[in-house]
Structure 1
Amino acid sequence: MRARRSLRPAYALTLAAAAGALCACGGGGGSHASPTPTGTTASPPSPAPSLSPPSPAPTGSTPRGTPGAVGGGSGRCRTDGLEVRISTAGPAAGQRFAFLTLTNTSGSACHVRGYVGMLLLTASDHPIPTNLERLSPPGPQTVVLRPGGSAHARLQWTIVPGAGEPAHGACAPTPGLAWITPPDERAHLVVAWNQGVVCGGGHVSTTPLSPGPAPG
């Protein structure tokens, strides 16, 4: 299911308690970003002044990217240049799995590194407690996304009621939407959640983003 690119109004008080799940994390001890009610993203840092004249680029070289660029001139992927999709990865006993795929929809290369942030919501936009666990190993790696390129992560959760949850009936409200924050970004993408209920206090584990689209 493809993301809905429009951003939803925030519920400030409820989101304050859920900020730990929605914030996204880069690799190698990168900064954590707090969610904001707008769709804006932070501006990239200004480049440090050069102490020597730049050398002319050889013919056919890759254009320079934004400050902090890696992997052949690619700056960090921004929320408004990405699309998100969540696809079912098959069930196990009491467990459910899905793949989350980020695709570069901008016209230039960019890179992602680390983990996405996530917040589950009902179909009417009411936040559901979400406890996102970042798994390691494997550790984060920098993934360069050419235009149209993708990176994916695997999600896992339980449908078995946990302590304090109803033993009969739904253990929690069934999510209808998910807010996904790319690594080191503040703005989020909105995508339909068609994966059913999440028990265990909204606990979802995620791997760091890996190169390529989701398997299968």
Structure 2
Amino acid sequence: MRARRSVTPASALTIAAAAAALCACGGGGSGASPAPSRTATPTPPPPGTGAPTASAPPSTSGPSQASGRCRTDELKVRISTAGPAAGQRFAFLTLTNTSGSACHVRGYVGMLLLTASDHPIKTNLERLSPPGPQTVVLRPGGSAYARLQWTVVPGAREPVHGACAPTPGLVWITPPDERAHLAVAWNQGVVCGGGHVSTTPLRPGAAPR
């Protein structure tokens, strides 16, 4: 995993065509909360992923007047493989509070895939609902996670032989209602279907194993 970094909106000039995918939505939390671009019924998790683990003690769900919104520089991100299904791939995205104070997240992350040399790759992020967003309070060391899903089957306008698209080496993740992003290595392989990736809203606790 690469060292995380926060990048200010000034860098968005180089990725104007992909800015919509990188935008994160809070779904009713503090700050701007645009409605999800579209909704769909989530696909059941692939075999072997198991049920979500119990929420770790540092994380709790529900609003808290004592906690402000989690800022990008207070978080770290991790992406872990969740197992394949026929033509589909799954991963868990985990945000962890690295600050010394409680904060909260609500809704969906923003996402942009890039090559290993930082060139943007078309990313079409779909926000799934239900379940709808919930406020997740992260005490120091606490985590929230979302499940990602995409296809490795070439779309109608993609090459059938060879790679359907450039293989990502990096992904930018924007926490809900934030503008700066975190960068993390993408070790999950190619994303077909025009860069279509679906994501659930953030949920409390550590990602299932």
User: Scaled by the length of structure 2, what TM-score is found?
Assistant: 0.81
Structure 1 equivalent of residue 143 of structure 2: 150
Structure 2 equivalent of residue 106 of structure 1: 99
Look at both structures and tell me which one has the larger radius of gyration over its CA atoms: 1
Query: Does the CA-based 8 Å contact 2:12-2:19 persist in structure 1?
Result: no
Structure 1 equivalent of residue 28 of structure 2: 28
Structure 2: distance between partners of 1:75 and 1:28: 14
Structure 1: distance between partners of 2:3 and 2:81: 15
Structure 2: distance between partners of 1:210 and 1:31: 17
User: Scaled by the length of structure 1, what TM-score is found?
Assistant: 0.78
Structure 1: distance between partners of 2:130 and 2:2: 28
Q: 81, 86, 97: which one pairs with 2:74?
A: 81
Structure 2 equivalent of residue 12 of structure 1: 13
Kindly report the root-mean-square deviation, in angstroms, between the aligned alpha carbons of the 2 structures: 1.7
1:119-145 CA-partner distances (Å, limit 9, x unpaired): 000000000000000000000000000
Structure 2: distance between partners of 1:181 and 1:195: 19
Query: Does the CA-based 8 Å contact 2:6-2:180 persist in structure 1?
Result: no
With 164-173 and 2-11 compared, the bigger mean Cα shift is at 2-11
Structure 1: distance between partners of 2:3 and 2:192: 24
Query: Does the CA-based 8 Å contact 2:103-2:139 persist in structure 1?
Result: yes
Structure 1: distance between partners of 2:12 and 2:25: 22
Cα–Cα, structure 1 residues 112 and 3, in superposed 2: closer, same or farther, change >3 Å?
farther
How far is 1:16 from its partner? Answer: 1.5
Q: 170, 192, 198: which one pairs with 1:177?
A: 170
Structure 2 equivalent of residue 202 of structure 1: 195
Query: Does the CA-based 8 Å contact 1:85-1:191 persist in structure 2?
Result: yes
Structure 2: distance between partners of 1:16 and 1:72: 36
Structure 2: distance between partners of 1:128 and 1:27: 26
Equivalent residue pairs, number: 178
Alignment of 1:21-170 (within 5 A): 21-28=21-28, 30-32=32-34, 70-170=63-163
AA partner of residue 28 (structure 2): G
Structure 2 equivalent of residue 213 of structure 1: 206
AA partner of residue 186 (structure 1): R
- Secondary structure of the structure 1 residue equivalent to 2:84: strand
Structure 2: distance between partners of 1:7 and 1:169: 33
Query: Does the CA-based 8 Å contact 1:151-1:210 persist in structure 2?
Result: yes
Structure 1: distance between partners of 2:76 and 2:3: 6
How far is 1:175 from its partner? Answer: 0.1
Structure 1: distance between partners of 2:161 and 2:12: 30
- Secondary structure of the structure 2 residue equivalent to 1:92: coil
AA partner of residue 33 (structure 2): S
AA partner of residue 13 (structure 2): A
Query: Does the CA-based 8 Å contact 1:152-1:213 persist in structure 2?
Result: yes
Structure 2, unmatched stretches of 5+, are: 35-62
How far is 1:72 from its partner? Answer: 4.8
